[in-house]
Amino acid sequence: MLTSANIPDNHPRAKSLLERERLVEGFRKGLVVPEGLIAYGRGEAFDYIIGGRTEGFAQKAIRAAAAALLMAKKPVISVNGNVAALLPEKVVELAKTVGAAIEVNLFYRTAERESAIAEVLKESGAAEVLGVGKNASARIPELMSERRKVDPRGILVADVVFVPLEDGDRTEALRKMGKTVIALDLNPMSRTSIAASITIVDNVVRAIPLLVEEAKKLRHSGNLRNIVDFDNEKNLQEAMIHVARRLENV
Amino acid sequence: MLTSANIPDNHPRAKSLLERERLVEGFRKGLVVPEGLIAYGRGEAFDYIIGGRTEGFAQKAIRAAAAALLMAKKPVISVNGNVAALLPEKVVELAKTVGAAIEVNLFYRTAERESAIAEVLKESGAAEVLGVGKNASARIPELMSERRKVDPRGILVADVVFVPLEDGDRTEALRKMGKTVIALDLNPMSRTSIAASITIVDNVVRAIPLLVEEAKKLRHSGNLRNIVDFDNEKNLQEAMIHVARRLENV
């Protein structure tokens, strides 16, 4: 079986291999689909290229995201299988810190997965999880995938939506609905990254805990509006330059 | 379920999503492990960065690899779960064209996977598959993972080993044993890429069919020795420059 016992201690990627086990465990519990494992692998590659650290451009975006979530009237955190498998406690902590609702939203939606994900979030302290079963009764216009199914009390009426590990289609559709979209994507060139209002180019495992810390720091700040004033295009360019430099100097 | 029926036709990544299904199907059949899906995702990211095409540096390496396999006394093609799931027929065709043995070699080795992979290869026309069960009785020195288990009639005594989708450890260990190692890796900066004798920086799905074609063309050539004379370091630098430029110009 695929436990840490099989990974030789002297393997240079031992840490990364151990980290993956959480996701594979989430897969065994029915939270994660095979496509989610593939998507995680894509993220690993981009994280490797970025350098495996939270860079300045990510820190700036995290600060703007924390302020946007704190200022929002109806903020919602959209959770998929990978996020639920990797760090459910931090998602719940973020929701509590900024006063956001949590909603399940899946590209490959089944009743079993929805329930498994909602259960993990509740075990991690969530009082309520939106978007499960019949509650995902509203539809996002112009979106064809299962991602279009949303909760009329959640994403449908949200002013700010945080979408870690997202696909580009939905980000674009949510933006067309006039919402502020905060994306978390390791690829600064993805459609998601380009379409979002605030894009955090970082690993979800590093960025969400930092977002919680930043929200706690800013919670009582009187200056949120200035912090939210954020040039996403300029910040993404910084991320792209960083990536190009990393590759030149390897 | 995760069939093409779920993927909207207008999804911009429909082609890539459909290609993935072959791997997910291999996963359902027990050929591929969850970690193999993650590894495939890493490959997708690098393929996206490379541009999704076989570039000149890859074509040069494919030509050198074809010549090296044709000149070898005992060439062996090492097959893992992902390769068996993605293109078993092409692996068998390559083996027949260059007169190579086929050997199963797995990082996560179980008797069931070995047998499932050997069976797929035999269904695809392989007369014999080495490295299964008790036949993987020899050990590669200095290697701690399950990858060290090899067939005494195959990789142990091979002069040229083709290792598509490999980890760096084994490439280094095989090189220390004095073998010519041909790697296929989308990351030109990986340890595998750097340690190999000939590194093909390309997608396995594009490169193996091209390798078959090249081997057929060169089969009766009298000039193989000159073609094998190949500067891997220089070729990898070309690949890295290509990747850096791609990122600068996005």
**Domains in chain B, start-ordered, CATH in brackets?**
56-249 (3.40.50.12640)
Task: Note the pLDDT of residue A212.
Answer: 98
Q: Under DSSP, is residue A154 helix (H, G, I), strand (E, B) or coil? A: coil
Please give, rounded to a whole number of angstroms, the shortest distance from the CA of A141 to a CA of chain B: 14
Please give, rounded to a whole number of angstroms, the shortest distance from the CA of B98 to a CA of chain A: 33
pLDDT above 50: residue A93: yes
Torsion angle of the four alpha carbons B117, B122, B127, B131, in this order, in degrees rounded to the nearest 10: 10
Longest dimension (CA), chain A: 53
Taking contacts as CB-CB distances below 8 angstroms, the residues of chain B near A45 are: 41-46, 187
Tokens of residue B63, six digits: 């030509």
Q: Under DSSP, is residue A191 helix (H, G, I), strand (E, B) or coil? A: helix
Half-sphere exposure of B240 (CA within 13 A, CB side): 19
Please give, rounded to a whole number of angstroms, the shortest distance from the CA of B123 to a CA of chain A: 25
CB A184 within 8 A of CB A163: yes
- B33 vs A2: CB contact, 8 Å cut-off? yes
Reported as a pLDDT band with limits 50, 70 and 90, residue A9 is low
Reported as a pLDDT band with limits 50, 70 and 90, residue B16 is low
pLDDT above 90: residue B167: no
Interface A–B counts its CB contacts (< 8 A) at 115
For residue range A178-226, list pLDDT tens digits in order: 999 999 999 998 899 999 999 999 999 999 999 999 999 999 888 888 8
A226 by Cβ neighbours in 10 Å (0-12 / 13-18 / 19+) ranks as: exposed
Torsion angle of the four alpha carbons A232, A233, A236, A241, in this order, in degrees rounded to the nearest 10: -150
Reported as a pLDDT band with limits 50, 70 and 90, residue B60 is very high
- B35 vs A42: CB contact, 8 Å cut-off? no
Query: What sections of chain B are H helices per DSSP?
Result: 14-28, 34-50, 56-71, 81-86, 88-98, 111-123, 168-176, 191-195, 204-218, 224-228, 232-248
As a whole number of angstroms, the distance between CA B118 and CA B133 comes to: 10
Task: Note the pLDDT of residue A13.
Answer: 57
Assess A33–B contact: CB distance below 8 Å, yes or no.
yes
pLDDT above 90: residue B12: no
A174 by Cβ neighbours in 10 Å (0-12 / 13-18 / 19+) ranks as: buried
- A247 vs B250: CB contact, 8 Å cut-off? no
- B187 vs A144: CB contact, 8 Å cut-off? no
pTM: 0.81
Query: A46 to chain B: nearest residue by CA?
Result: B45
Between positions 134 and 163 of A, the ones with CB within 8 A of B are: 144-146
As a whole number of angstroms, the distance between CA A22 and CA A32 comes to: 11
Residue of A247, A248, A249, A250 to mutate, testing the B interface (most B Cβ within 10 Å of its Cβ):
A247
Question: Other C-beta atoms within 10 Å of B173: how many?
Answer: 20
List, as one string, the DSSP characters of A18-30: HHHHHHHHHHHTT
Assess B240–A contact: CB distance below 8 Å, yes or no.
yes
